[in-house]
Structure formats: C-alpha cells, structure tokens
Copies of this chain bind each other. A is one copy, B any other.
Amino acid sequence: MTTICVDAMGGDRPSEVVLEGIAQALAADVELEVLVAGNSEVVEPFCAQHERARALLTTEVIGMEEHPADAVRSKKDSSIVRGCAAVRAGEADGFFSAGSTGAIFAAATLGIGRIRGIKRPCIASSVPGTSGRRTVFCDMGANADVRPEMIVQFARMGRAYSRVTLGVDDPKVALLSNGSEETKGSEAVVELHGVLAEAAASEGWFVGNAEGTDILAGNFDVIVTDGFTGNVAVKTLEGTSKFIMGELKKAVNASPKAALGSLLLKSSLKEIAAGLSGDAYGGAMLLGVKSPVIIGHGATSAEAVKNATLVCASAVRGELVNKIALDVAGA
C-alpha cells in the first residue's frame, strides 16, 4: 500500500471537487490509500464511505492570499501544516494540496525537511511540446534568486524527475536564456551557463541555452532557470493560452460560422488547454524535500486531483527522492 495525504481544504474550488478526485484515484489504484486532511464535516462522511480513505482531522485552513511563512507558523492545525507533519511522521508517503504554493513550499521545507545536501527545493513541472516530447521545467517560482550551486542542483533534480515520471534514460538539460549562443544572457545567466557546463563536463548532460520558444517545442528534456524567470515564463504561457481561448470565444459570439467551428473543435481546444494547465500531471512537483509533494492549481478539477494523487503515488514507488539523493550525493 502507498499512502498519499491529500489536502481536502486547498484551492479555490469547493472541497467536493477534491473529494471527487480522491474517490477517482482510489478507484483507479487499488494499492492506494489516502489520508484525507481537513475539517471533520468535510472529511469524516467521505472516509466513512470509502474503504481506503482515512481521516486526518484539522481545524484550520490557510487561505490563498495569506502570507505563506506567517500562515504556516501561526496555523499549526491547518490541513497543509498537519499534512506535512503526517508525512514526516511516516503516516503518509507523499502529500498533495491545491492550496497556496508559498504555504505548501514553506510547510514542506520545514515540516518534511530537505534531502541531505539540497540547498533549496525547487518547483518543477513537465509541459507538453510540439515535437511530442515533454519538457521538465524548473524552477517555476520557489527561488527568485539562485546562486550557481543551486542551479546545478535544480538541473540534477530535474533530471531525476524526468527519469522517474517520463522514463527518459539520460535526460539532457538546457539553461533558459535570451539566445542560444553561450555568450547570451544577463551577466548572472552567463555565469550559470559556465557553472552548468563545468558541473556536467564529465557526464555530458548539459547541452547549452534554450529560449522561450523552446519551452513548448519539446526540444529539450529539462530546461532550468531561476524562480523569477521561471514564474514569469509559466505565467506568460498561461496568459497566452487564456488570451487565445478568450479571443476564440469573442469570435464565436460575433459569428455563427465561428460558433459552429468552435463547437466542432471544442474537444480539441479543451484538450489543448488542459494539457497546458498541467492537469494531466496534476500539478507541479516540489523537488528536494524528503517525500514527494505535489502542488496543484488553485482552480483545480476532480481530474487534476485524481492525476496528482496517482502521480504522487508513482513518484513514491519510483523512488524519486532516493534518486535525487543519490544524484546529489554523487555530485
């Protein structure tokens, strides 16, 4: 049995959406047990009805807009803090929440703890690519400033993530920059390029710079960047997808011909938007802590919760944390 703790209170959607996702995950994986964290009125009726669901009763909820570190410090009985504590105590093997990214990051770093040798955890996700290959992208926002030794660890963690979740044998890593030549970049990024080239010299996994156009092209296994640039890139991607879908909706309202076209393309458009939202993989993975932690979209869906829970369980079974620990120790 693999036990994943799922936060029933996290995100902007009602708890029913999360519970529905948990039910789907339990149905899909008979080796899965879920520790459901949340208020008793939400959690208890659900656990009474589902065999492999156990309740972790909590009384507080950390809101999406609260200051992460303050909230984690003051709300000791919140579903996020208690969920991470349950993982640390061995009551669960991994944690999933669609709550505040900052709060989950803080609670997991403090509560579950970093893997020995890891300077700072980072946030990674795999995005689809035109070529058909998925690309692991990190850091998506946890560390606005990175020191050179951190980017090398992000690269190694991204490689481990690519191996375990995508099955890539020897993932190649590129550094996000403003041009493909190695001389391109801000002063800081040119320095990171040198540090990555040196770290990977004998192992051959660093292949140079990637550009913004590469993120969804499927040209690289892993693209690393600092959390500031990563956050801007991911939110630009999200904003562009929203813009295009919004403009299509406007076109539909303006013309019956476009309306019919859109109706016929509906499932394709939905699929593309879902692929970009990361729902197929349930969210972003926090890499560098001692157990797999997945951070979902605030605006999550039952499907995303199901996938996140299953991906979290498969990261446990694939020994993602051990692989990261070995990679970092071997460095």
Q: Which residues of A contact B (CB under 8 A)?
A: 128-130, 141, 144-145, 176-179, 184-187, 189, 211-217, 225-229, 231-244, 246-248, 251, 255, 257-258, 260-266, 268-269, 271-272, 275-276
Q: Are the CB atoms of A264 and B272 closer together than 8 Å? A: no
Q: Are the CB atoms of B187 and A145 closer together than 8 Å? A: yes
Smallest CB gap from A214: residue in B: B239
- Contact among B184, B231, B264, B271 for A264, CB-based, below 8 A: B264
Least Cβ–Cβ distance between A38 and chain B, in angstroms: 27
Smallest CB gap from A212: residue in B: B235
Q: Are the CB atoms of A232 and B229 closer together than 8 Å? A: yes
B contact residues around A265 at 8 Å (CB): 248, 251, 258, 261-262, 265
Q: Are the CB atoms of B257 and A272 closer together than 8 Å? A: no
Q: Are the CB atoms of B186 and A228 closer together than 8 Å? A: yes
B contact residues around A217 at 8 Å (CB): 239, 242-243
Q: Are the CB atoms of A240 and B240 closer together than 8 Å? A: yes
B contact residues around A179 at 8 Å (CB): 231
Q: Are the CB atoms of A236 and B258 closer together than 8 Å? A: no
Smallest CB gap from A275: residue in B: B247
- Contact among B145, B177, B186, B213 for A242, CB-based, below 8 A: B213
Give A258 to B266 CA distance when docked, in angstroms: 8
Give A271 to B248 CA distance when docked, in angstroms: 10
- Contact among B234, B257, B263, B271 for A212, CB-based, below 8 A: B234
Q: Are the CB atoms of B178 and A141 closer together than 8 Å? A: yes
B contact residues around A215 at 8 Å (CB): 236, 239-240
Q: Are the CB atoms of A145 and B212 closer together than 8 Å? A: no
B contact residues around A237 at 8 Å (CB): 212, 236, 239-240
Given contacts A186-B228, A251-B272, A264-B264, could you give 9 more A-B pairs where the C-beta distance is less than 8 Å?
A129-B243, A130-B243, A130-B246, A176-B232, A185-B228, A211-B232, A257-B264, A261-B265, A262-B265
Smallest CB gap from A264: residue in B: B261
Give A227 to B187 CA distance when docked, in angstroms: 12
Q: Are the CB atoms of B243 and A178 closer together than 8 Å? A: no
- A-B contact list, 19 entries, CB within 8 Å: A129-B243, A130-B243, A130-B246, A144-B185, A189-B228, A211-B235, A212-B233, A212-B235, A213-B242, A216-B240, A217-B243, A232-B232, A237-B240, A240-B241, A240-B244, A248-B265, A251-B271, A258-B268, A261-B268
Q: Are the CB atoms of B239 and A216 closer together than 8 Å? A: yes
Least Cβ–Cβ distance between A246 and chain B, in angstroms: 5
Q: Are the CB atoms of B144 and A226 closer together than 8 Å? A: no
- Given A186-B144, A240-B237: A228 and B272 interface contact (C-beta under 8 Å): no
Smallest CB gap from A176: residue in B: B232
B contact residues around A239 at 8 Å (CB): 212-217, 237
B contact residues around A263 at 8 Å (CB): 261
Least Cβ–Cβ distance between A257 and chain B, in angstroms: 5
B contact residues around A244 at 8 Å (CB): 240-241, 244, 272, 276
Q: Are the CB atoms of A272 and B258 closer together than 8 Å? A: no
